Amino acid sequence: MNRRDLLKLGVLGTTVALTNTYASTPSQTTAPSTNAINKVQNKKRVIIIGGGYAGLTVAKNIRLHDTTSEILVFDPKNIFASCPYSNLWFGNVKDTNYEQLIFSPLVSGAKYDYQVINDKVVSINKEKKTISTLDKEYEYSILVVATGIEYDYSTYGLDETTAKECATLYPASYTGGYEQLSLKKKIEEFKGGTFVITVPKGAYRCPPAPYERAALIASYFKEKKLNAKVVILDPREKPTTKAKGFLEAFNTLYKDYIEYLPTSNITNIDTKNKTITYDTFDIASKAFVQKKLNFDDANIIPSNKASSLITKSGLAVNSQGWARVKTPSFQSLNDENIYLVGDVVGEYPFPKSAQMAHSSGIILGEQIAKILKGQNPQFGLKLPGNICYSMVSPDTAIAVTHQAYLENGEVKVKTELFEDADNITAVSTKSWYFGITQNIFE
């Protein structure tokens, strides 16, 4: 694949998913309502929990292949606020604005004939095939869980009280709304000093996001000629993905504005005194030593975990708490009427990204439509693909592609990196984003 192919994939980002696998390659605890069950009537009902990239894509693609079923999408938020592309807005990249991140699920719901219900699902009863919200109980024929991530501050040594303080004062901005607006304000009002960005431990949503964010915030500080430095605390030895491209940008474009600290394992955060304690490997002594870092402001991105709804409902999870599914499908390992898609899944070596969620949603939507019509869903015939662009400056970007394939009954992923930053990849970044959101909402 060459750079022109990347541009094409940006424009046609939503089609990167589909290849034949035979080719060579803090939660609310309010009790659910005890009202009467809203039962399935004359037609089969699909309930989708989560109105993000995965959930809305599944809803649309069921409808594209089946016009008779009832489709209900549950999400407590009444807007869709995109995390992809938000880093460009944080970094004040030309021609970006907050309106480009905000969409109404009601628009796509009306166009593709599915109902969006703004209510929080608090429990799943597998035996009764019902979900309970804060308001009602609903029966389903098929259930799709696309609940995304929750934050886990405990890996930073924070108790519940300190975690809430950290989330309020230094929000992760891995979800929309307040978190995004808060971080944007922090960046614009920053007068100088040390601005910390933490990289989560373990698997997390959008692996390149912290590094892209650091680059674009540093670019903004550089443009404003601030006496400022972005310090990246990373528990890994190098960036999670596209390491060569990011490190080259840090060391050339932002050598006076970014300090990258690898093997930095955060053990505590003092939110009031603005101090982070972390262990890091000291080459001279060949041992881990404890250090402290004072900061002026921060974007604390904690570890990610799957929605607690999954474990509370008795669905199978792996040792890290991510949902398990039957290879090569998205069907729950322990319930044939429940499917899991997007960031919640831990069965496959997929990155947790918007494109992978969208790609998986296209496939799952078609499979569910076949099941509703009594047809063979042909699990594994199509497997998802991913393309992920990362801006390293306002007009240059790098990229990575992933394509899942089946080999001896095991799902594997082929990865291809494009780490020489250039403008055509930056153009592809924008084309991809507007392409994927248009595919979901228009």
Q: Taking a C-beta distance cutoff of 8 angstroms, is the pair 91, 394 a contact? A: yes
Ramachandran class of 265: left when φ > 0, alpha when ψ lies in -120 to 50, beta otherwise: beta
Report the mean per-residue pLDDT for the chain.
92
Q: What pLDDT, on a 0 to 100 scale, did the predictor assign at position 179? A: 96
d(CA 87, CA 76): 24
Q: Is 352's pLDDT higher than 50?
A: yes
| Confidence at 177, pLDDT banded by 50, 70, 90 | confident
Domain spans in the chain, listed from the N-terminal domain onward: 26-148+307-379, 152-303
26-148+307-379 and 152-303 share one fold? yes
| Confidence at 33, pLDDT banded by 50, 70, 90 | low
Averaged pLDDT, 341-361: 97
User: Which amino acid appears at position 45 of this protein?
Assistant: R
Averaged pLDDT, 324-338: 98
Averaged pLDDT, 317-324: 94
Residues 6+ apart with CB under 8 A from 415: 400, 401, 402
Q: Is 8's pLDDT higher than 90?
A: no
d(CA 362, CA 341): 10
Residues 6+ apart with CB under 8 A from 352: 149, 203, 204, 205, 206, 207, 304, 342, 343
DSSP state of 104: -
Q: What pLDDT, on a 0 to 100 scale, did the predictor assign at position 10? A: 52
Residues 6+ apart with CB under 8 A from 425: 3, 6, 7, 389, 396, 397, 398, 399, 418
What tokens appear for 264 in the block?
């930095």
The residues facing 323 across adjacent strands are 317, 345
Q: What pLDDT, on a 0 to 100 scale, did the predictor assign at position 32? A: 52
- In terms of residues, how long is the chain? 442
Helix, coil or strand: residue 390? strand
Ramachandran class of 351: left when φ > 0, alpha when ψ lies in -120 to 50, beta otherwise: beta
Q: What pLDDT, on a 0 to 100 scale, did the predictor assign at position 105? A: 96
Q: How many Cβ atoms sit within 10 Å of the Cβ of residue 21?
A: 15
Please write the tens of the pLDDT for every residue from 131-164: 999 889 999 999 999 999 999 999 999 999 999 9
| pLDDT more than 90, % of the chain | 87
| Confidence at 442, pLDDT banded by 50, 70, 90 | confident
Class of domain 26-148+307-379: alpha beta
What tokens appear for 442 in the block?
């228009």
Q: What pLDDT, on a 0 to 100 scale, did the predictor assign at position 27? A: 38
Q: What pLDDT, on a 0 to 100 scale, did the predictor assign at position 283? A: 86
Integer angstrom CA distances of residue 212 from 88, 106, 188, 246? 9, 31, 17, 8
| Confidence at 36, pLDDT banded by 50, 70, 90 | confident
Q: What pLDDT, on a 0 to 100 scale, did the predictor assign at position 42? A: 79
**In the CATH scheme, what is the homologous superfamily, with its name and number, of domain 152-303?**
FAD/NAD(P)-binding domain (3.50.50.60)
Q: Is 391's pLDDT higher than 50?
A: yes
Q: Is 92's pLDDT higher than 60?
A: yes
Strands 264-270 and 275-282, bridge-based pairing: antiparallel
Averaged pLDDT, 88-109: 97
d(CA 253, CA 269): 30
Cis peptide before 328 (omega within 30 of 0): yes
| pLDDT more than 70, % of the chain | 92
Averaged pLDDT, 69-88: 96
d(CA 195, CA 217): 9
Please write the tens of the pLDDT for every residue from 268-304: 999 999 999 999 998 888 899 999 999 999 999 999 9
Closest CA to 402 of 239, 214, 246, 208: 208
What tokens appear for 185 in the block?
């304000």
Averaged pLDDT, 171-176: 93
Q: Taking a C-beta distance cutoff of 8 angstroms, is the pair 353, 206 a contact? A: yes
Closest CA to 290 of 303, 277, 301, 302: 277
For 206-343, strand residue ranges (E) read 228-233, 258-261, 264-270, 275-282, 287-294, 297-299, 303-306, 331-332, 335-340
Q: Is 418's pLDDT higher than 90?
A: yes
Q: What pLDDT, on a 0 to 100 scale, did the predictor assign at position 24? A: 32
- By CB atoms closer than 10 A (0-12, 13-18, 19+), residue 314 is middle
d(CA 224, CA 201): 32
Q: What pLDDT, on a 0 to 100 scale, did the predictor assign at position 20? A: 35
